[in-house]
Amino acid sequence: MIESIKNRRSIRKYLKRQIEDNLLNEILEVAFRGPTTGNMQLYSVIVTKDEERKKKLWEIHFKQNMILEAPVVLTFLADFNRFNLWCKSRGVEPVYDNFLSFITAAIDAIIVAQNVCVIAESKGLGTCYLGTAIYQADKLIEFFECPEGIVPIASIVIGYPAEMPEQPDRLPYEKLIHNETYRQYTWDDIDKIYEYKENMELTKRLLEENKMDNLPRIFVEKRYTKKDIEYFSKILLDVIKRQKFL
């Protein structure tokens, strides 16, 4: 399994081959053995295989074609609804209508999502995260008919790979580790940490295509702009309030 993580890459093209139900169920069952706050398991997973519903998810997720190609789309929910109902059914009034409870459930859901990726890839499957799930949480809540106490956190496509793209780059691992206390980076540290990324051929192509002078500018002014981040932040905060976490 260590090798599958070391060699992982995001797969965006898939074979027209279904995932056997017993394999998918095994992946999910094992993933659910992962850590969870207070052993409460504050998550749920929605499995989407139906082609018509996948087309609607494709629309919601900004028309990313891997949703149509992959046989399965998994949506991971921060879910306090189930636990709240259990409390109420035993005559206990739950007290989890707060931001900390949302964060707790979101962490649980992310841990499960990552477990699914690791296990699936060790079985020869490919996966890819859809970061758009958190941006479109309001639309996914409506699509999946989620009650209060639930917020979609992540989506993953999963299937048999039809490509083997290059591995994405990663920063030097030792530069991400701090011993005992956080050591602030110097400007020289920053230069050395990002030197490889900034000198990649991909980076050079991106700079040329976007007519920009450095990679951070592409992130800030093209990919994740202040306007977009503030817009989607407002949507998420509204969702958290509407779902009774605030």
Quote the tokens at residue 40.
């409460």
The secondary structure of 118-184 as a DSSP string is: HHHHHTT-EEEEETHHHHTHHHHHHHHT--TTEEEEEEEEEE-BS--PPPPP---GGGG--SSSPPP
d(CA 9, CA 46): 23
Helices and strands counted in the chain (H then E): 12, 4
Quote the tokens at residue 21.
């139900």
Q: Are 138 and 235 in contact (CB under 8 A)?
A: yes
Q: Are 112 and 76 in contact (CB under 8 A)?
A: yes
Contacts made by residues 166-170, CB under 8 angstroms, sequence distance 24+? 166/9, 167/7, 167/8, 167/9, 168/9, 168/10, 169/196, 169/197, 169/200
What predicted TM-score, i.e. pTM, was given to this entire model?
0.95
Q: For position 7, what pLDDT does the model report?
A: 86
Residue 109, phi then psi, degrees to nearest 5:
-65, -40
The secondary structure of 29-51 as a DSSP string is: HHHTTS--GGG---EEEEEE--H
Going residue by residue through the chain, which has 246 residues, state the pLDDT in tens, using 9 for 90 and above: 788 788 899 999 999 999 999 999 999 999 999 999 999 999 999 999 999 999 999 999 999 999 999 999 999 999 999 999 999 999 999 999 999 999 999 999 999 999 999 999 999 999 999 999 999 999 999 999 999 999 999 999 999 999 999 999 999 999 999 999 999 999 999 999 999 999 999 999 999 999 999 999 999 999 999 999 999 999 999 999 999 999
Non-local CB neighbours of 147 within 8 Å, separated by 6+ positions: 81
Non-local CB neighbours of 15 within 8 Å, separated by 6+ positions: 159, 160, 161, 162
94 closest CA partner among 145, 42, 144, 141: 42
Instruction: Please compute Rg for the chain using Cα positions.
Output: 20
Q: For position 189, what pLDDT does the model report?
A: 97
Q: For position 3, what pLDDT does the model report?
A: 80
Q: Which residues pair with 46 in a beta bridge?
A: 75
Quote the tokens at residue 109.
């859901």
